[in-house]
Each structure stands twice: as structure tokens, then as C-alpha cells.
Amino acid sequence: MATGSDRPETEFPRAIGAPATRALAAAGYTRLDQLAGVPAAELAALHGVGPKALRVLGEVLAERGLSLG
């Protein structure tokens, strides 16, 4: 039986949802800066990462002066 949260330890905003957070972590991404320059299509291909997650990530990256590829 699992205890605690099903969200991996990452710095992604909760607004992207747990499935997207898990998918990104499984692909090796745990920090926002790691996503800078990664093509949106590559992230969208991950099961659990949908349009809302991409939009939120894009907005948060833009606030930091970064963007998806």
C-alpha cells in the first residue's frame, strides 16, 4: 500500500496535474529549467502530458524568461 503523495518530488506547478508530473519525472525531468528548449511535441508525446499541462508549463517558463522549444 502506498503512503503519502503519488506526486514525485519536482518543482513543477501543481496545476499541471499529477499524471503530467509523473510522466515528466519518469522521463527524467524534475526541474523547470530542464524543460527550456525541449520541443512541446516531445513533451506532448508523454502519456499524461496534455494541452493544459503544456500551457501551464509554457506560462511558468515565460515568467522565468524561458520557453519550450
Query: Could you report the per-residue pLDDT of 26-62, keeping only the tens digit for each?
Result: 999 999 999 999 999 999 999 999 999 999 999 999 9
Does residue 55 form part of some domain? yes
DSSP secondary structure string, 9-52?
S--S-GGG-HHHHHHHHHTT--SGGGGTT--HHHHHTSTT--HH
Confidence grade of residue 10 (pLDDT, cut at 50, 70, 90):
confident
For the question of whether the overall pTM of this predicted structure is more than 0.85, the answer is yes
> What CA–CA distance (Å, rounded) separates 20 from 43?
9
Q: 26 in a domain, yes or no? A: yes
Domain that holds residue 44: 15-63
Residue 1 pLDDT class (50, 70, 90 cuts): very low
Assess if residue 5 is contained within a domain.
no
Residue 28 lies in a domain: yes
Is a pLDDT exceeding 50 seen at residue 2? no
